[in-house]
Structure 1
Amino acid sequence: MDKTSDRIQRSINWILYFAIVFVLSHMLGIGITLTKGILHELVVVASAAIIAKYILFNPISLYFASVAAVFGSLIANRYFKDALIGLYSWLIGLSDNIINNIMGRENILTDYQLPFIFILAFMISILTASVVFKGKSILILLPHNLFAYIMYWYSFRNEALWLLAAFLVLFLMLLSSRAFIPGKRESFLNLNSSTDGQLLRFRTGTKYSVLIVVIALLLPKTDRHMKFPWLEARVNETFPFVEDLRSTGEGSRSVGEAGGFDFSVTGFQSDGSRLGGPVKQRSDQVMTVKSSRSLYLRGNIKQIYTGESWEAITEPSNIYRLGDDISGVEENSKDLFYDRVEAVVTFRDFSSTTLFSPLLPEKLNSFQSKAFVRGRNGYLVIPGGLYDGESYYLSALVPKPYGIALANGSNKTLEELDDIEIYLSLPRSITQRTFELTNSIIEGMESPYEKAAAIEEYLRTSYTYRLDVGQVPEGVEFVDYFLFEGKEGYCTYYASAMAVMLRIADIPSLYVEGFTARGPADDGVYSVTYNNAHSWVEAFIEPVGWMTFEPTPALPLPLRLEDYSPDEYGTTDPNMPGSFGRDPDDMGMPGEPVTEDSEGDLDITNADFIFIFILSAAVILLAVLPGKLILGLMRYQRRKRSIESMEAQDKIIHYYDDIVDMLGILGYPSLSGETHSDHAKRIAYKFNDINGAGILKISDAFVKAKYGDIEPDHDMIKTSLKFLHTLEDKARKDLGKPKFLYLKYIKGIKNKGR
């Protein structure tokens, strides 16, 4: 292959390599709801791909990088101890977050998303680079790629279909560019073709690759399938999880009548009559929400706490026609105190008579009904329900951040609140220590907002967010158990505790269950799954009215802007929430760190421990590789002396073995089933700068000595040794001295083809 053709092939390989790595990494990024943006993702994946390819071809660089890191840590421990402790803390947090994510306990936190994507992309890159650049069988790429796309597709990630199509196009392009012949790796590595022919082959392969996948996507499809009851019964009996795969049809009209939303179906409550218990996570898609911003979508609004559950009062209720304004807010107040948000909600494999909406619904429309019911506190019901694939449009008034509402003159009072006793009611089971704890948190505070924010902050920072918790013991008051005994839980625990503590502080509160539409939005469309189920608190705060509070540390705080001033922020336009930093309900912003039980955590502030740990790592690193190098050199010298003492016939055999090993290091090993003579003929032209016919003569002498018992002459022994030394010099020059020493004396590459 001439230099131009070689350059073109390398460029094609790099393009295909990066594209394959990026497509799968992007799919995994969607899976963890990566929120950093496509540009950041491209930079991170490209960096991982370049580093992985370099390490694959220069494995010894890992050693030098490790040594540099250890000595850098020693220096940092001496002069920049605080920064080093901060780095260790971050690394421990990253590893804990990844482990907890794998265990299903929490999502990847925003601060750790890009490092996590880098790790995933690096692992993908190592395997992909070995295929693209080292000539491994491209079939290696199929299992893990196809598994990932299919898994995400059955987890209701619709992007998986298109990313799978992109991967298949790239895979077919790689196949055509490789001119793949099983077992003939060298036919790719040493392909000798003209530049024009190479480009023509690549263009043709690309066209056919795209054409094949496009035709497959355009072929008619149907949800109807052939039914084999006996086979379905056998499969479901043997593999029961199959019934839970995509397109379950549980939300279709043919299954049964829709009912009201029940939080227990989400997996975040094992028993509808009792709060708490272990979470059974479900990644099935529930709905898509097309909206300009992330939203809290209220399903159930509950007012009465019993000590072990929450109950809803839906009365009084009124029937409205579609399109009616049900907000009850005067027009001149809407722009001052609210942001109007419009959304289209489409159910996916889900049915319900409950309509999910932000805090203050304004108008509703749907083709499936002519009217709807509005209950207490904005609880919405559509007669007959909505089913899989059916949508409704809504506009809602989302309260502006607290500081803006104050600046714009909000003056709501508790006197305006009907049935205030409902929102302050508490059961007799509330314990004295719950009262005492609440009063200690709000001691000295005057305004309702200060008290509510203090309770919210206390819960976010004092308890452990955890999904795998046990059931609350029978007969034990739920909030008391969370605050003083269990001290860990998920949204249900935090929201219940805050709603109760607010009532103790004489602040009306509601316990709300529903979903959050958050994470990356594809063209403004949020994918909402059962894992997005959530419960939170709404409190009536004078003088702004009902506000959303988020005591659960796994989610970020809503934007409040307590110290807002129009002069400071440079705008007085009440319709520009974006002017104030971020979406008031932006669920993509980082929340409080989510940590597990601190028992057994590494004490990273112990400087002596850190120093001893780094020093031990340094000793190990410095000893391992040099030790292996010294042992390799000793073995080589012993073998060299042993060969020098042999007869000429044995010498030529051992020299030839070393020559073939060195050819393997240079990238020209013998192929499976290939004879020594065939190997020599195939690669002889590559070494014209050495001695074009040298390898042919040496191979012939080796065959005669080993199989014909013919002793070579002295000149042939000298020629073989000189040829071996020349190959070593070439390898040292082409690969670099560190890599050459690593391959020859440490890794000890042997030709596997003979």
Structure 2
Amino acid sequence: MVKLVLNRKLAKNLLYSLIVFSLAYLFGMPIGIKLNIFSQLLMVTLISTLVSFFILNPLSIYFLIFLTFISTIIVSRFFPSCMKVFIEKTTHLFSNIYYHIRDLKVIAPENRLPFWGILIILLSIYTGMIILKNRKTTFLLPLYIGGFLYYWYLYYDQAYWMMALFLFLFLILLGLERYFKEINGIKFKNNIDFEKLYNLWSKTTLKYGIIIVMLSLIIPKSSYSIHWPWLENRIESFFPGIINLRSTNTQSKKYIKAGLFDFSKTGFQKESSRLGGPVVLDNTLVMTIYGEGPFYLRGNIKHMYTGYSWVKVQNIKESFKLGEDFSKIPLEIKKRYFNSTSIKITYESFASQTLFSPYKGYIVNFEDNAHNIEVDYDGELFFPPGVYSKESYKLEVLTPLNYNSLIDLGIDEKRENLPNLSLYLQIPEDKITAETVELVKEIVKDKETDLEKALALEDYLRNNYNYNLEVKEVPINQEFIHHFLFESKEGYCTYFATALAIMLRIEGIPTRYVEGYLAHESIDKGIYQVKNSHAHAWVEAFIEPIGWMTLDPTPAYPPIDRTNTSPAIETETMERLPEDFDVLDKSLWVNLEISRGEINGDLKESKIQNNTSKNRWYKHIKNLPTILMSLILFAMTMKLITRYLKIKIKNARVKKLPNKERVIYLYDEIVRLAGLMGCSQESGETHYEYANRLHYNYNLFTAEKDIREITGIFVRNKYGNFPTTNEDVIELERYKDTIAARIKRHIGIKDYYYGIYFKRN
């Protein structure tokens, strides 16, 4: 029987750790955990085992807090610099987590593993309280099944297999609990070989669990579900957007006709005819990109600004065959000023006639060779038949050399040679305010070249305005740029790009307002996933003497380094980045927003001020861990003392009660002691049934008188009309003391006193 109990504990602990792993593995995917699956399994097992120890030995938490308290005092006293570093890192971690939850900010690389560890601890506590404390196993289903479905709808296909693993483990866990519930109900166990029965049960449960899960996995599935328009419309009217969840059918040729890209459909703009307003992020997977990124994927170029929106001026498109070079750039110019790269784009839950491409795509290849592509004079690409879900095309792209290299090679592009120049310099002069013009003149007053002016304006927007998706609607009577620059001073990409495009035009620099996607989420080396939440707007400016250049004034992303020559930039960047910095890693981008003013001057003074403020801040909170630990220890100590005094006072009062009430109280105490063994009286169970169950399952409850005789004394005195004798009281007191001593030895002193003083009802 002892061996059977050990097998049960081992099986439950193993199931517990694997169940936690099934969901914890998915937690790590969007965070960006780089450990392989075996390292993740090892980490989850270690953390869940540690959590299970504290769940099963709750009094040890008290000693852990006490040791932490003492350690905090010692470290604060003798190693203050270490405590300062610890506080700063901890504050940074929880601040990062807070803004990740509130604003969907990315988790910094140094915080990914600790954040994942915190999630594992929370998941282990919830799971352990159910499995290890013998709560209803079905309580696992809402969290786990909900979690698997959530990640699956976010296009993490691993959720499908993790859910299969969970269901397999869940079936085994259900069988295990049912088995032990049945054998606990058997009254006469002397002639039963429980070890043989347990082995038979375990083999049967494993076989049926494997068969059930395997059948569910191998049943044929198809992405082409039954199409019932009336029912789908009814469902959509009650639950908007539910039809499109994890569905690519709606973007296939069977159901829709592809149209041109519309930025307002991404969630970043409520109306195509009016800029601004709050954003509702849409995580629908749009496309997968294969190539060395990140990429600014052009989808729509607009030319004329009205004061509250951008308007596209339609222009003549030329038709080219697939595989044909449509750049019209001589070969020697390509070799001199450009590098050529290849990328592949696969549309996911998306369909469009627009072919997304970085600037200067020049060859397109597509499986459908029966049609031509169309190209306008801004280099926008169109495929009239449309590209649908799961269809791909390949692009050859010309990437210009960096600014200094182009200057050294003698490039000399002039804006007066630009076709439709007036279109790129258009300004609604009756809408743009004098304050906006004066601000532009002030920012560029000491700048001479187009590049210096462009970078100065880009820097100004990055360093003086906040990125925020939850902005209010722009008042109807206010011009969009003026409202952004002088009143709200916050917004997202359309705000920053619109402001920069017009500010450059005020200085006579031609610009194009570009809408599309920014592919910067690398899921593997050279593979990027693009979602609607990655929709973006930026500016292309004609900078003499090199031609069109991409500018991005939105502070949520790093400025584009076009020179690669400034030692100050290289030095400062190396000081800010970790040794394993990956430029493709989006979570590091927000840390790269280094203003050129800071690089070129006043950097030392800024650092001194930052250090001073940090030291002042540290002085205020350096004792915070000690204070918190002291409060927790004080609260737990007061709880222990309060419970102890309550029990002593109650016992003193009970001794003054009549014998009958004392017998009832003592029997209730015996039942509570049995509860420490995990054998509480069940609902609907009579006193004698309960006594028989204790007698046949636990030898602990057999003393000079066994539990059945003690129960007889209790029932006779509580429900009978006989007077309660002193001998009855003495018998129950003696039995209670004997059982208490035995249970203390059996479950251990820590669990015994925890049950008496902390869990006692």
With over 3 angstroms needed to count, the CA separation of the structure-2 counterparts of 1:138 and 1:151, relative to structure 1, is: same
2:723 paired with 1:723:
no
Corresponding residue for 2:258? 258
Once the two structures are superposed, what CA deviation does each residue of 1:21-68 show, in whole Å capped at 9, x if it has no partner? 2332333444xx322324486677556534543443344555666667
Deviations 1:242-300 (A, max 9, x none): 45545385433344532211111112112212221222332333233344554332211
Deviates more, 1:194-203 or 1:513-522: 194-203
User: Residue in 1 aligned with 2:462?
Assistant: 460
Query: How far, CA to CA, are the matches of 2:71 and 2:496 in structure 1?
Result: 43
Q: Distance in 1 between matches of 2:123 and 2:197?
A: 31
2:653: which partner in 1? 642
Alignment of 1:634-673 (within 5 A): 634-645=645-656, 650-673=661-684
Q: Give the Å deviation of 1:592.
A: 4.5
Cα 1:521–1:233 shift into 2, 3 Å = closer
Read off the aligned partner of 2:396 and give its amino acid letter: S
Equivalent pair of 1:278/1:467 in contact (CA under 8 Å): yes
Deviation at 1:421, TM superposition (A): 5.8
Amino acid at match of 1:665: L
Give CA deviations for 1:217-265 in whole Å, capped at 9, x if unaligned.
3223453438594x66655554455455453854333445322111111
Report the equivalent of 1:366: 366
Give matches, 1:192-591, under 5 Å.
198=198, 201-222=201-222, 223-225=224-226, 227=228, 229=230, 235-240=235-240, 242-243=242-243, 245-247=245-247, 249-291=249-291, 293-313=293-313, 315=315, 317-327=317-327, 328=329, 330=331, 337-338=338-339, 340-348=341-349, 350-368=350-368, 369-399=370-400, 402=402, 406=405, 411-415=410-414, 418-419=418-419, 422-428=423-429, 429-442=431-444, 444=446, 451-504=453-506, 508-519=510-521, 521=523, 526-540=528-542, 546-558=548-560, 562-563=564-565, 586-591=585-590
Question: Which shifted more, 322-331 or 445-454?
Answer: 445-454
Segment drifting more, 320-329 vs 353-362: 320-329
Greater shift, 466-475 or 604-613, is seen at 604-613
User: Is the CA contact (8 Å cut-off) linking 2:68 and 2:629 kept in structure 1?
Assistant: no
1:734-753 map, 5 Å:
734-737=747-750, 740-749=752-761
- Structure 1: runs of 5+ lacking an equivalent: 570-579, 595-601, 750-754
Structure 2 residue corresponding to 1:34, chosen from 31, 34, 43:
31
SS of match in other structure, 2:280: coil
- Measured at CA, do residues 735 and 351 of structure 1 come closer, stay the same or move farther in structure 2, by a change above 3 Å? same
Corresponding residue for residue 576 of structure 1: none
Name the counterpart of 2:168. 169
Contact between 1:290 and 1:343, CA under 8 Å: does it hold in 2? yes
Identity %: 33
- Name the residue aligned to 2:125: 126
Q: Does residue 1:629 correspond to 2:626, yes or no?
A: no
Alpha-carbon distance in 2 for matches of 1:714, 1:725:
16
Distance 1:184 1:206 in 2: 18
User: What does residue 572 of structure 1 align with?
Assistant: none
Higher alpha-carbon deviation: 311-320 or 612-621: 612-621
CA distance in structure 2 between the partners assigned to 1:54 and 1:637 by the alignment: 30
Question: Counterparts of 1:12 and 1:698 in 2: how far apart (Å)?
Answer: 36
Q: Is the aligned partner of 1:18 residue 2:29?
A: no
Contact 2:558/2:592 (<8 A) preserved: no
Q: Tell me if the contact between 1:291 and 1:343 (Cα under 8 Å) persists in the aligned partners.
A: yes
User: What is the CA distance between 1:355 and its match in structure 2?
Assistant: 0.6
SS in 2 for 1:323: coil
Report the CA distance between 1:441 and its aligned residue. 4.2
Relative distance call for 1:430 and 1:237 in structure 2 (3 A) is closer
Q: Equivalent residue of 2:478, what SS?
A: coil
Counterpart CA distance in 1 for 2:185 and 2:54 is: 25
CA contact (8 A) 1:294 1:583 kept: no
> 1:238/1:718 Cα in 2 relative to 1: closer, same or farther (>3 Å)?
closer
Shift of 1:740: 4.0
Shift of 1:603: 12
Q: SS state of the match for residue 747, structure 1?
A: coil
For residues 269 and 288 of structure 1, the distance between their equivalents in structure 2, rounded to whole angstroms, comes to: 23
Q: Which moved more, 1:215-224 or 1:462-471?
A: 215-224
SS in 2 for 1:378: coil
Distance 2:27 2:208 in 1: 28
**CA, structure 1 residues 615+544, in 2 after alignment: closer, same or farther (shift >3 Å)?**
same
User: Which residue identity does 1:380 align to in structure 2?
Assistant: L
Deviates further, 623-632 or 85-94: 85-94
Residue-by-residue CA offset, 1:193-216 (whole Å, 9 max, x unaligned): 766765664454344323322322
1:354 Cα deviation after fit:
0.3
SS at match of 1:395: strand
Secondary structure (helix, strand or coil) at the match of 1:494 reads helix
Listed one character per residue, the Cα deviations across residues 706-732 of structure 1 (whole Å, up to 9, x for unaligned) are: 44557545873464143144145326x
Question: Residues of 1 paired with 2:49 and 2:440: CA distance?
Answer: 55
Calculate the TM-score normalised by the size of structure 2.
Answer: 0.79
Displacement of 1:526 after TM fit?
4.0
CA RMSD, aligned part only? 4.4
Aligned length: 715
How far off is 1:627 after superposition?
A: 2.1
Determine if contact 1:460/1:551 at 8 Å carries over to the other structure: yes
Structure 1-normalised TM-score?
A: 0.80
1:464 Cα deviation after fit? 2.0
Following TM superposition, by how much is the alpha carbon of 1:663 offset from its aligned partner in structure 2, in angstroms? 2.4
Deviation at 1:631, TM superposition (A): 1.8
Cα deviation, residue 15, structure 1: 3.4
Aligned pairs for 1:172-191 within 5 A: 172-179=171-178
CA distance in 1, matches of 2:46, 2:107: 21
**Given that residues 336 and 408 in structure 1 are in contact (C-alpha distance below 8 angstroms), is that contact kept between their aligned partners in structure 2?**
no
Provide the rounded CA distance (Å) in 2 between the counterparts of 1:46 and 1:537.
50
Is this contact kept in 1: 2:108–2:588, CA < 8 A?
A: no
Q: For residues 89 and 487 of structure 1, what CA distance do their matches in structure 2 show?
A: 28
More displaced, 696-705 or 20-29? 696-705
The answer to whether the 8 Å contact 1:459/1:494 transfers is yes
Deviation at 1:382, TM superposition (A): 0.4
2:425/2:505 contact within 8 Å kept? yes
Q: 1:239 to 1:700 in 2, by over 3 A?
A: same
Secondary structure of residue in 1 paired with 2:512: strand
Residue 141 of structure 1 corresponds to which residue in structure 2?
140
1:572-606 superposed Cα distances (whole Å, 9 cap, x missing partner): xxxxxxxx986655434341499xxxxxxx99956
Q: Is the 8 A contact 2:289 2:343 kept in 1?
A: no
Matched residue type, 1:638: I
